[in-house]
Amino acid sequence: MATLADRPFLKMNGAGNAIIVLDLRADPVSIPADEVCAVAARVPFDQMMVLYPPRTPGSDAYVRILNQDGSESGACGNGTRCIADIVFAETGKDALLFETRAGLLPCVRAEGGLITVDMGPPRLRWDEIPLAEPFADTRAIELEIGPRGAPILHSPAVVNMGNPHAIFWVDDVEAVDLARVGPLLECHPLFPERANISLAQVIDRGHIRLKVWERGAGITLACGSAACAAVVAAVRTRRTERKARVSLPGGDLVIEWRHSDDRVLMTGPVEHEFAGRFDPHWFEAAA
């Protein structure tokens, strides 16, 4: 029988970012990539947040973050808020600590039912992104797509916020066909681990409009780590203040790149959609 057959799950979203939450703390088994793809064909999602028993003393759970194509992600801020909401209700705590492949993510309750995730400090060196070749200044690297001399997009900022991100500055996020250029840029040879591709439009010094092609998921209604990366890139290029609202198709996030300790804080909403069980027949069809 398939690993996921008949297991309960929750469908949630964070600012529109479609999340499936799977709790394996009582039965920590590994999930085959083909089963993740089989679920995505039936219950579309951007990330599957899988809870395992904690590995680090003081943490509340170890979390694997799986994209709809079965690949693993290092961080998902919107998904982290979703699992935080569940564990807050379960434990009665006001502060939690989750461990992911990218490190430890503290979470706290915020006003108005919102949740704040500490996404940690950004990584900015070319080899931390990572890039396939050295760039002394990652605020704007040499990369363009489109006709020579008249590129559609060019000179992105690159940031690692648990995942590699490339942020292209545009006058209008709707003026570029992200569905066409996103997969080309995600898999560009310059990004050995692939990359999340963002179009960022600065509205004013406290507001960015963002559209994201997410590595392993495609165009998404929201991407928390991309919102963090966009504000970091905007601050580094003097486009915004250190705290800004980021408007994505699915909703708004508030991002602060704190000067005192270099950490990036993301605050946003959580929504519960429905609970269900994975139908065993889904995985028979996949096999």
Give the annotated binding-site residues for substrate.
17, 47, 67, 77-78, 163, 196, 214-215, 224-225
Omega before 130 cis (within 30°)?
yes
The CA-to-CA distance between both ends of the chain, in Å, stands at 11
Binding-site residues, in ranges, read 17, 47, 67, 77-78, 163, 196, 214-215, 224-225
Q: How far apart are CA 185 and CA 191, in angstroms?
A: 9
* Tokens, residue 189: 């040879």
CB under 8 Å to 107, separation ≥6 — which residues?
80, 81, 84, 95, 96, 97, 98, 115, 116, 117, 118
Q: How far apart are CA 103 and CA 107, in angstroms?
A: 13
Which has the closest alpha carbon to 51: 16, 9, 14, 11? 9
**Catalytically active residues, by annotation:** 76, 223
Q: How far apart are CA 117 and CA 136, in angstroms?
A: 30
What are the φ/ψ torsions at residue 232 (nearest 5 degrees)?
Answer: -60, -45
Q: How far apart are CA 2 and CA 55, in angstroms?
A: 26
Alpha-carbon Rg for the chain in angstroms: 18
8 Å CB contact between 169 and 197 = no
CB under 8 Å to 131, separation ≥6 — which residues?
138, 141, 158, 190, 191, 192
